[in-house]
């Protein structure tokens, strides 16, 4: 996600990654009212930073996705933002991000065991998908490793 920023009086612009743009604003190099362009859309730097807070890159394919999406529209990977927080109702599941899933040659994860169980329950992970986590010798069908959480 690159942003082309044009400062007042400049003829051209300078390209920034989102992280570099945040640093440039924090350092005073770029002002919030400067003009920016992202994906062909004109906006101020402030508007760009606000919009960026509702989007991020998919950890699997690198495409930009909305933080409101349950899965990446490009590759189908469940979003980490969609992983449920671990509360007191989930006491037996591991809270470690060590559960990996594979479907049709693509790998997804890592997820917590609780998140993987919830994804199985709502259909984002299928019983015939393969899964692996440390300690397992081979990838196995999810149905042999997990059962969905009971409501």
What are the pLDDT digits (tens) for 4-23? 999 888 888 899 887 788 78
Residue 50 near residue 98, CB atoms below 8 Å: no
> Looking at the structure, do residues 88 and 48 belong to the same domain, yes or no?
no
**pLDDT tens digits for range 27-80:** 888 898 999 988 888 999 888 887 776 666 676 677 777 666 667 777 777 665
Q: Which residue has the higher pLDDT, 120 or 58?
A: 120
Helix and strand element counts for the chain (H, E): 4, 10
Q: Which CATH number does the domain housing residue 16 bear?
A: 3.30.1490.40
Give the domain extent around 134.
Answer: 84-145
Q: Decide if pLDDT at 121 tops 60.
A: yes
Distances (CA, A) of 88 to 93, 97, 98, 113, 119: 11, 18, 20, 15, 19
Supply 36's token pair.
């920016």
Pair (46, 88) in one structural domain: no
Confidence band of 104 (pLDDT split at 50, 70, 90): confident
Check residue 59 and give its pLDDT: 64
d(CA 120, CA 54): 26
CB atoms within 10 A of CB 104: 6
Model-wide pTM > 0.85: no
């Amino acid at each position: 996600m690159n942003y082309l920023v044009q400062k007042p009086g400049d003829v051209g612009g300078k390209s920034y990654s989102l992280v570099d743009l945040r640093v440039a604003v924090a350092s005073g190099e770029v002002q919030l009212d400067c003009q920016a362009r992202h994906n062909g859309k004109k906006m101020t730097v402030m508007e760009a930073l606000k919009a960026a807070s509702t989007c991020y890159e998919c950890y699997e394919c690198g495409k930009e996705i909305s933080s409101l999406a349950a899965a990446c529209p490009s590759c189908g990977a469940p979003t980490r933002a969609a992983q449920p927080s671990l509360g007191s109702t989930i006491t037996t599941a591991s809270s470690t991000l060590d559960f990996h899933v594979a479907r049709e040659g693509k790998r997804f994860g890592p997820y917590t065991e609780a998140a993987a169980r919830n994804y199985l329950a709502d259909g984002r992970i299928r019983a015939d998908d393969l899964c692996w986590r440390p300690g397992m010798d081979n990838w196995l069908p999810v149905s042999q490793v997990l059962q969905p959480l009971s409501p």
